[in-house]
Chain A
């Protein structure tokens, strides 16, 4: 499935330049990403109240459509939708309709017949949320909750929110992303978001077998060594190492990976003393990160989880808002005919 920044912009924004689907960071400009972060800031405050709920999506139906299991991401999307007062339907498709032979299109038609307003989609195949956004009934918003190796834009935005909270800005920041970049949809979205928001330098750090071949075209600097990769970094983002990569002969061994790329207190010292440590979770202690670092004073891993709810509330309400504005404009055009 081909996706270019221009077509990504076209499909994600309504004619007024407002978000209507959230599929990828590609094609979204700095102003829009900043608007997502600002809106999320307001939702963080809502999460601190005794009643952590606002009525924005009251009466709307949000369907969590997970073709690939993910407890954490699904839970935070569910909680985000509930805090916006939406009705939420969780569908674990991997164990449901498709196994009975129903096609994706038929599944979607059935869900649309239940008057759904938004689909939150996770799929193992890159481009699946784009496909759904192109074929869905107008007025229904699609949010990408991770597709194949392509993108995980809400994870990237919650990381951006966490960085902004701790560093106050993106200008001048040096950010190192460490580990399996090749298979990581999170890393791709993070790189795009960081460069769009004006980070000074984005580095990817790992063995060549885990770095994408087109790395140079991403606008990042490549390091195979932690000492040079982390030097003077303001932010260190560790990625989860998936065990199956060991079996795929991309890595010598878990122990060897940890020795070279595992984030230990010793290696973290290469970075700036006030550097923050991030990880999209779930963490593999002793595989990509040492417990002392994961639980240490520079770790903001649990802030990321809290911010995940606020960022998802922001993109859900903004996308619904963009869809409603489009529906409204269409209704007015119809009325004036």
Chain B
């Protein structure tokens, strides 16, 4: 199934949709933010495709996860880096995969700690459904239905490709 996912083609389509969305909302200078790690690779692509001059931001949501009491702290946390003010800006938030919606909830909380944005457009490459929070992406590359034991992962950055992983049942 993943052999059928052509990331490059999906990104081209998403980019066109995103341009349409920005136009419809009359957003002229959006600020782009990718969520580590996959979202940053995609943001890098969109940054070039949209010919944005301002550098894009990178978000590490480890400090904002809601499963700290169960999963603990990510030992490989790296600093977030937003090279612009978020106050009153129109933000494009990019991640590779959306499922429960909890990552996006954490990312939005983090963004608000930098300032109050004017709006946020959510862009994800893959939508796996199975949402646990009322959060929906505005632009989606492709929706996928996975079996319970399956997981997908975006590999990259060059080339960007999607890998399907079989997970052992008893975990």
The chain A residues found within 8 Å of chain B, CB to CB, are 18, 35, 38-39, 41-42, 44-46, 49-51, 53-56, 317-318, 321-322, 324-325, 328
Give the Cβ gap from A161 to chain B, nearest Cβ, in Å. 13
The B contact surface, by secondary structure, is loop
B53 within 8 A of A: no
22 A-B interface contacts by CB (under 8 A): A18-B72, A38-B76, A39-B73, A41-B78, A42-B60, A42-B62, A42-B63, A42-B79, A42-B80, A44-B79, A46-B63, A49-B114, A51-B112, A56-B68, A317-B63, A318-B73, A321-B72, A321-B73, A324-B68, A324-B69, A324-B70, A324-B72
Mask, B33-64, CB within 8 Å of A = 1, is: 00000000000000000000000000010111
Q: How far is the CA of A39 from the CA of B80 in the complex (A)?
A: 12
Task: Please determine whether B113 and A38 come into contact, CB atoms closer than 8 angstroms.
Answer: no
Q: Please name 19 further chain A to chain B contacts, defined as beta carbons within 8 Å, in addition to the given A39-B77, A42-B62, A324-B69, sorted by A numbering.
A: A39-B75, A41-B79, A42-B78, A42-B79, A42-B80, A44-B79, A45-B79, A49-B113, A50-B114, A50-B115, A51-B114, A53-B113, A54-B64, A317-B73, A318-B73, A321-B73, A324-B68, A325-B72, A328-B69
Q: How far is the CA of A49 from the CA of B114 in the complex (A)?
A: 6
Mask, B76-87, CB within 8 Å of A = 1, is: 111111000000
Give the Cβ gap from B3 to chain A, nearest Cβ, in Å. 37
Residues of B within 8 A of A45 (CB): 79-81
The A contact surface, by secondary structure, is helix
Residues of B within 8 A of A44 (CB): 79
Give the Cβ gap from A105 to chain B, nearest Cβ, in Å. 28
